[in-house]
Structure 1
Amino acid sequence: MTKRALITGITGQDGSYLAEHLIREGYQVWGLMRGQANPHKMRVSRLVSELSFVDGDLMDQASLVSAVDLVQPDEVYNLGAISFVPMSWQQAELVTEVNAMGVLRMLEAIRMVSGLSNSRYATGKQIRFYQASSSEMFGKAAETPQRESTVFHPRSPYGVAKAYGHFITRNYRESFGMYAVGGILFNHESPRRGSEFVTRKISLGVARIKLGLQDKLALGNIDALRDWGFAGDYVRAMHLMLQQDRPGDYVVGTGRMHSVRDAMSAAFEHVGLDWRDHVYIDPALVRPAEVEILCADTTRVREELGWKPEVDFASLMRMMVDADLKHVATEHEYGDLLAAASW
């Protein structure tokens, strides 16, 4: 029988890549969306034409129960979150409601619908659950590289909320026998990444500088080290986690660190420019509590799931710059056409 999957966070980069991957695997896929008039719906539909949508909100328990009951999924992937870390200092309560309590609400919805409670929605169907945990939970890491057993020391409200989501997922697995896993994913990027994230900010800035539309690019801590990979690779790991005989948590990354400086160098070099001529440091962009070093120990995900990344860091940055060169050139040309028409 055709498997059915429900994805929260369908409008994000991971949601669209995961939907594409699952559809290629023969799944019927639904994306949870708050309001069918959501302006991002058309963009996602263009990327994934076979995708269906269902109403739901991670801040509304009843809507999640209704969505799970309607879709009757075999697998639920909870990718929905406010994922821009700096925002979590500005709106800590909102980030906690979505990134922490939203996980609990989805687990409760699955528990009710699958028959793990005395609910009128109960069907007795096992629903497998994936929680998008984050390397930001490690924060001020006790060891490098970080593995599944590394102690969490989050350094932002975002990381704290993600840690709660991770622990409550494990608790439901242990308390109710739910097939629930946490994927502790390290930084993963793509041309679909939001422009507020540093790698996309760099690729977009490089494209605009190369095309003569701006001259300078402001960044924060360029010495911060991250384990960066390609989002399209990481969604394969998400899927593999839910195909195992027994549920477990997995760290997913490349096992190699690069600095923001490395990202700048690769991006500017790709278009024949020197980043030192265009980048300046803006103190306002430095985090209140910085996470300096994050690097994954990928032993378990490689040995147990047979997963490994296919796109390396330099190729990822080139991919993003090339996509933004096309995006910016098209946008600029379209803007000129509009200006000419109005004139």
Structure 2
Amino acid sequence: MKKKALITGITGMVGSHLADFLLENTDWDVYGVCRWRSPLDNVSHLLERVNEKNRVFFEYADLNDQVSLITVVNRIKPDYVFHLAAQSYPLTSFTAPIDTLNTNILGTARLLESIHLAMEEDPSYKPIIHVCASSEVFGKIPKEKKPEAGINEECPFHPASPYAISKVGTDLLGRYYAEAYGMTVMTTRMFTHTGPRRGDVFHESTFAKQIAMIEAGLIEPKVMVGNLQSLRTYADVRDAVRAYYMLVTVNPIAGEYYNIGGSYTCEVGDTLNTLISYSTMKDKIEVVTDPERLRPIDADLQVPDCRKFKEHTGWEPQIPFEQTMHDLLNYWRKRISNGENFLTR
């Protein structure tokens, strides 16, 4: 019988790339949870398949509505659940902390409880569940306390934003449901991952968007930035979704938790310089610090130790940083050339 995968947040960057990966590399049917008002830009290439009911199905539900989640889980009984949906922007969480905590912590609890109830009603139902936390749970780690090989799974949590706090709750809920109810739930702390379809509220994507708008003559040759000294390790989103697939298919172990990330580490300022170096306007661009883009507290040493996940699954990142940045910039160039209008954020 054909397997079924349920992706919460299918309309996001990661969810849409995961759908692409599963359609290309498996014969599974893909069910995507989205809200009726969810933007469909990232899945526009899938809409014909959705209309034809060709292996892709949209399910309307909301993490803040328990009944909708129970209904979807009971009707589909997915073999695999990828829980990616969240309020995912750290800076927004400072101005909307309650929404962030409700969506990310209670929303995760509602989803896992819906699955738990379905398993109680049907003891033969044993799905494999991926709960996506975040590297932000580790927060602001002092240099003297950072392990030499990078942040490993046992580093203490020190969240530096309401978003990060919400992801601590998400992380712990995943492990709780595995330990309390014997559910095959695994949690990941993915470090910075990016590429085409990355939202323009994230630093490398807003850099790329601004550069593309400058090239098109839509804004002055000034790139507005926040903290350029923060250290980040980058992975390509397409490598990330391959990791998520391997997580649920390579000897999944209930209750396990993994750090996952790329192999290229640099300061945010170096990422900006790389993108500017690809621009036709590179000699004219000015970099301007915008105080509104600065976080009250920043998680600024995000360098992972991913040995646990790599040794368990054999996963390795394959797409180089330079290609990721080229693809991200070209993504924004294409959208802007199509005549779309954007906020200058």
Same fold at TM > 0.5: yes
Q: Identity rate of aligned residues, in percent?
A: 30
Distance apart, 1:322 and its partner CA: 1.7
Gap runs ≥5 in structure 1: 116-120, 336-343
Distance 1:282 1:104 in 2: 37
Distance apart, 1:276 and its partner CA: 8.0
Counterpart of 2:2 in structure 1 is 2
Distance apart, 1:69 and its partner CA: 0.4
Counterpart of 2:93 in structure 1 is 88
Confirm whether residue 46 of structure 1 aligns to residue 49 of structure 2: no
Counterpart of 1:340 in structure 2 is none
- Name the CA shift for 1:29/1:275 in 2 (closer, same or farther; >3 Å): farther
Structure 1: which amino acid aligns with 2:238? G
Question: What are the equivalent positions in structure 2 for 1:1-343 lying under 5 Å apart?
Answer: 1-24=1-24, 25-35=26-36, 38=37, 40-41=39-40, 44-47=43-46, 49=49, 50-115=55-120, 121-122=121-122, 124-141=124-141, 142-144=145-147, 145-214=150-219, 215-243=221-249, 244-247=251-254, 248-274=256-282, 277-331=285-339
Distance apart, 1:222 and its partner CA: 0.9
Distance 1:105 1:39 in 2: 19
Distance 1:41 1:284 in 2: 28
Distance apart, 1:57 and its partner CA: 0.8
- Name the CA shift for 1:298/1:8 in 2 (closer, same or farther; >3 Å): same
Structure 2: which amino acid aligns with 1:311? I
Distance 1:271 1:277 in 2: 9
Distance 1:275 1:150 in 2: 42
Distance 2:41 2:309 in 1: 34
Distance 2:46 2:227 in 1: 33
- Name the CA shift for 1:138/1:4 in 2 (closer, same or farther; >3 Å): same
- Name the CA shift for 1:151/1:276 in 2 (closer, same or farther; >3 Å): farther
**Worse overlay, 96-105 or 255-264:** 255-264
Report the secondary structure of 1:322's partner residue.
helix
Distance 2:293 2:252 in 1: 45
Q: Deviations over 1:250-273 (max 9, x none)?
A: 111014321111111111111244
Structure 2: which amino acid aligns with 1:225? L
Structure 2: which amino acid aligns with 1:131? V
Distance 2:110 2:38 in 1: 25
Counterpart of 1:339 in structure 2 is none
Structure 1: which amino acid aligns with 2:62? D
TM-score when normalising by structure 2:
0.90
Distance 1:254 1:229 in 2: 4
**Alignment check: 8 A CA contact 1:155 1:289 kept:** yes
**Higher RCO (C-alpha 8 Å, min separation 6):** 2
Report the secondary structure of 1:18's partner residue.
helix
Report the secondary structure of 1:227's partner residue.
strand
**Alignment check: 8 A CA contact 1:264 1:275 kept:** no
**Alignment check: 8 A CA contact 2:83 2:129 kept:** yes
Distance apart, 1:329 and its partner CA: 1.9
Distance 2:200 2:269 in 1: 18
**Alignment check: 8 A CA contact 1:255 1:297 kept:** no
Structure 2: which amino acid aligns with 1:220? G
Gap runs ≥5 in structure 2: 50-54
**Worse overlay, 130-139 or 278-287:** 278-287
**Alignment check: 8 A CA contact 2:11 2:38 kept:** no
Counterpart of 2:52 in structure 1 is none
**Alignment check: 8 A CA contact 2:42 2:197 kept:** no
Distance 1:312 1:153 in 2: 30
Query: Where do 4+ consecutive residues of structure 1 move more than 4 Å?
Result: none
**Worse overlay, 200-209 or 274-283:** 274-283
TM-score when normalising by structure 1:
0.90
